[in-house]
């Protein structure tokens, strides 16, 4: 750049300054308004959206699908799409390091690469087109980052669209842009470039939209996170009821295990006793749950040792044990398992039956246990599964399940017991039995709304 151009630029700037404004307060005023807007937006986000809860880091959980921060998602997706290229796609560092590296160097040295003093956009068609395609790429790649890139029948089309929009179009567009800028002259060159950039941008957006429309993101199973102490205790109790009750009993007082396949007669220390709770730290109890005590018959439960419980879940169980049984701790107020029923009110599966089943039944009535194939982890299973199905018939007070929870076992013709009373080692409280009976008699509604429609709540009429 020669001195004359510099002088011209500086003169022009002086002129602009003379007809401009003052930094204080004119510009600062706009800055302050924007800052206030951002600040209020952040307060709103913090208040109404909050920070999503996440379970504690669990290095042993190999099933977790890793995902980078959202602002690196575009790079992550680019890597995935790049990996689809035959042969070249195998060399990961080209996409992970080389391409971003080149991009960064170009970006940094931009003032020395684009040396012409022209500033108006009409004279900078090439750079603006390149940047435009880059920005559209970043945005669209971020948007489709969670969509599967697989070549089975279900995803073949959308995967192809992703590759086209994320890799082929931008590459082709860049090539065309440089071709135009070198081969064509002035007017025609810029026309070609504007056309290329505009067209590829529209295509990328269109393809991304169709990917979003055609391929629903596979739903990530939401992991429950207990935040408050009562939540943690309840979560711990539910998990205890599923995984520990069989051997240790619902109050943790079992000393000799009974009725558990392979462990019958095994001696265990009562885990609700002070010998255990005073002398074992939280970490010790968590380790025992995680790794088990194989020589004593206790299997491992933590994911780290091949079990199914996460670090957070084991943490909840320990919290439950401490606050329920350790007399040095004061139990916080715990919400009820299910809301009490009014006279004439019909319970629903989602509000009443599901938590009851979780607390008292699922321990055995789930996959992989000796339970006559009667599973109780979902609405359908409770109603339809089992070797002696149907265990529940709407409106039938003689349904098998209702009988066994009211201490009547089921016998075959020879008087042999087929199904014993349930739960095998304890008796359900009358209010829990009442929920079951009402639910079955009213037609077993799944949802709250369904139950409300069947309800005939006796309410004093006010006049």
Partner 1 sequence: MWRKLYAWLEDRLGLEEIYKATLDRPEPKGNWWNTLGSASLFLFLLQGVTGIFLTVYYTPSPDHAYDSIQYIMNDVAFGWLIRGIHHWGSTLMVIVVFVHMVRVFVTASYKYPRELTWIFGVGLLLLTLGMGFTGYLLPWNQRSYWATEVGTRIAGSVPLIGDSILRVLRGGPDLSALTLQRFFSGHIWIIPALLAAVIGVHLYLVMRHGESHFPDKDD
Partner 2 sequence: MTSSNRMSRRDFIKVTIGAIGGVMGVLLGVPVVGYLLQPAFRKQAAEAWIPIGKLEAFTIGIPSPFSFTRTKVNGWERTATSYGGFVLRRSEDPKEILILSSRCTHLSCRVNWNEAAQGYLCPCHDAKFSIEGEVLSGPPPEPLERYNEFKVDEDGNLLIFFEEA
Q: Which of residues 212-251 bind partner 1 (CB under 8 A)?
A: 223, 227-228
Q: CA-CA distance, 20 to 34, in Å (whole number)?
A: 20
Q: Which residues contact 228 (CB under 8 A, 6 or more apart)?
A: none
**Cβ atoms of residues 291 and 302 within 8 Å:** yes
The CB-of-41 to partner 1 minimum distance in angstroms stands at 7
Which residues ranging from 241 to 280 are in contact with partner 2 (CB under 8 A)?
278
Q: How many CB atoms lie within 10 A of CB 415?
A: 6
Which residue lies nearer to partner 2 by CB, 39 or 70?
39
Helix segments in 83-227, DSSP class H: 92-93, 99-108, 110-113, 125-143, 156-163, 169-183, 186-214
* Among positions 20, 26, 100, 154, the unique one binding partner 2 when judged by CB under 8 A: 26
* Among positions 3, 47, 185, 328, the unique one binding partner 1 when judged by CB under 8 A: 47
Which residue lies nearer to partner 1 by CB, 131 or 164?
131
* Among positions 9, 11, 33, 103, the unique one binding partner 2 when judged by CB under 8 A: 33
Q: Does 28 bind partner 1 (CB under 8 A)?
A: yes
Give the pair of three-digit tokens for residue 283.
Answer: 């970490």
Which residues ranging from 404 to 423 are in contact with partner 1 (CB under 8 A)?
none
Which residue lies nearer to partner 1 by CB, 48 or 182?
48
Q: Which residues contact 208 (CB under 8 A, 6 or more apart)?
A: 140, 143, 144, 165
**Cβ atoms of residues 242 and 358 within 8 Å:** yes
**Cβ atoms of residues 133 and 174 within 8 Å:** yes
DSSP 216: P
Which residues ranging from 155 to 194 are in contact with partner 2 (CB under 8 A)?
none
Q: CA-CA distance, 311 to 289, in Å (whole number)?
A: 10
The CB-of-337 to partner 2 minimum distance in angstroms stands at 25
3-class SS of residue 55: coil
Which residue lies nearer to partner 1 by CB, 67 or 150?
67
The CB-of-291 to partner 1 minimum distance in angstroms stands at 18
Which residue lies nearer to partner 1 by CB, 127 or 355?
127
- CB neighbour class for 84 (10 Å; exposed up to 12, middle 13-18, buried from 19): middle
Site string for partner 2, 311-340 (x = CB under 8 A): -----------x---x-xxx----------
* Among positions 9, 36, 105, 457, the unique one binding partner 2 when judged by CB under 8 A: 36
Q: Residue 37 CA to chain centroid, in angstroms?
A: 31
Q: Residue 429 CA to chain centroid, in angstroms?
A: 35
- Partnered with residue 419 across adjacent β-strands are 410
Q: Does 335 bind partner 1 (CB under 8 A)?
A: no
- Choose the binding region for partner 2 from 22-30, 141-149, 190-198, 207-215 (rule: CB under 8 A): 22-30
Q: Does 57 bind partner 2 (CB under 8 A)?
A: no
Which residue lies nearer to partner 1 by CB, 49 or 87?
49
Q: Does 282 bind partner 2 (CB under 8 A)?
A: yes
CA-based end-to-end distance of the chain = 92
* Among positions 46, 389, 418, 452, the unique one binding partner 1 when judged by CB under 8 A: 46
* Among positions 88, 97, 102, 157, the unique one binding partner 1 when judged by CB under 8 A: 97
Q: CA-CA distance, 279 to 283, in Å (whole number)?
A: 11
Q: Does 458 bind partner 1 (CB under 8 A)?
A: no
Which residue lies nearer to partner 2 by CB, 250 or 313?
313
- Compute the radius of gyration of the chain from its Cα atoms: 33
* Among positions 104, 183, 296, 397, the unique one binding partner 1 when judged by CB under 8 A: 104
The CB-of-444 to partner 1 minimum distance in angstroms stands at 36
The CB-of-83 to partner 1 minimum distance in angstroms stands at 12
Give the pair of three-digit tokens for residue 47.
Answer: 């208040």
Q: CA-CA distance, 270 to 279, in Å (whole number)?
A: 13
- Choose the binding region for partner 2 from 28-36, 211-219, 234-242, 432-440 (rule: CB under 8 A): 28-36
Q: Residue 409 CA to chain centroid, in angstroms?
A: 42
* Among positions 85, 99, 126, 128, the unique one binding partner 1 when judged by CB under 8 A: 128
The CB-of-32 to partner 2 minimum distance in angstroms stands at 4
Position of tokens 């007399």? 327
Q: Which residues contact 298 (CB under 8 A, 6 or more apart)?
A: 247, 268, 288, 292
Q: Note the residues at the interface with partner 2 (CB under 8 A).
A: 25-26, 28-29, 32-33, 35-36, 39, 43, 278, 282, 322, 326, 328-330
């Amino acid at each position: 750049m020669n001195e004359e151009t510099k002088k011209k630029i500086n003169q022009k700037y002086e002129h602009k300054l003379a007809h401009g404004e003052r930094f204080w307060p004119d510009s600062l005023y706009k800055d302050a308004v924007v800052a206030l807007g951002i600040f209020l937006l952040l307060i709103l986000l913090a208040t109404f959206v909050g920070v999503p809860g996440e379970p504690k880091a669990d290095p042993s959980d190999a099933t977790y699908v890793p995902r980078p921060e959202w602002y690196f998602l575009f790079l992550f997706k680019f890597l995935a799409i790049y990996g689809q290229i035959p042969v070249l796609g195998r060399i990961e560092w080209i996409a992970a390091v080389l391409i971003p590296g080149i991009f960064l160097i170009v970006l940094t040295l931009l003032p020395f690469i684009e040396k012409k003093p022209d500033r108006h956009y009409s004279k900078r068609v090439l750079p603006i087109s390149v940047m435009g395609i880059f920005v559209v790429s970043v945005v669209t790649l971020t948007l489709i980052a969670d969509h599967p890139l697989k070549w089975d029948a279900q995803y073949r089309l959308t995967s192809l669209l992703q590759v086209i929009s994320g890799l082929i179009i931008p590459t082709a567009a860049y090539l065309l842009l440089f071709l135009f800028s070198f081969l064509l002259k002035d007017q025609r060159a810029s026309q070609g470039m504007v056309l290329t950039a505009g067209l590829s941008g529209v295509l990328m957006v269109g393809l991304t939209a169709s990917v979003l429309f055609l391929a629903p993101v596979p739903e990530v199973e939401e992991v429950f996170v207990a935040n408050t102490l009562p939540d943690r205790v309840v979560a711990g109790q539910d998990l205890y009821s599923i995984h520990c009750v069989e051997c240790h009993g619902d109050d943790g007082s079992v000393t000799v295990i009974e009725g558990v396949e392979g462990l019958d007669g095994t001696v265990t220390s009562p885990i609700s006793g002070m010998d255990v709770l005073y002398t074992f730290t939280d970490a010790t109890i968590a380790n025992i749950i995680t790794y088990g005590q194989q020589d004593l018959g206790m299997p491992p439960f933590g994911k780290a040792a091949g079990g199914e419980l996460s670090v957070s879940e084991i943490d909840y169980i320990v919290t439950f044990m401490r606050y329920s049984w350790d007399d040095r701790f004061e139990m916080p107020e715990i919400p009820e398992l299910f809301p009490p029923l009014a006279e004439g009110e019909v319970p629903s599966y989602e509000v009443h039956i599901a938590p009851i089943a979780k607390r008292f039944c699922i321990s055995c009535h789930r996959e992989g246990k000796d339970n006559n194939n009667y599973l109780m982890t979902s609405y359908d299973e409770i109603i339809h599964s089992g070797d002696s199905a149907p265990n529940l018939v709407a409106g039938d007070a003689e349904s098998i399940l209702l009988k066994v929870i009211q201490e009547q076992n089921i016998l075959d013709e020879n008087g042999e017991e087929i199904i014993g009373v349930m739960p095998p080692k304890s008796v359900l409280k009358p209010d829990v039995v009442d929920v079951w009976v009402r639910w079955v008699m009213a037609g077993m509604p799944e949802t709250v709304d369904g139950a409300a429609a069947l309800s005939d709540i006796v309410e004093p009429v006010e006049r």
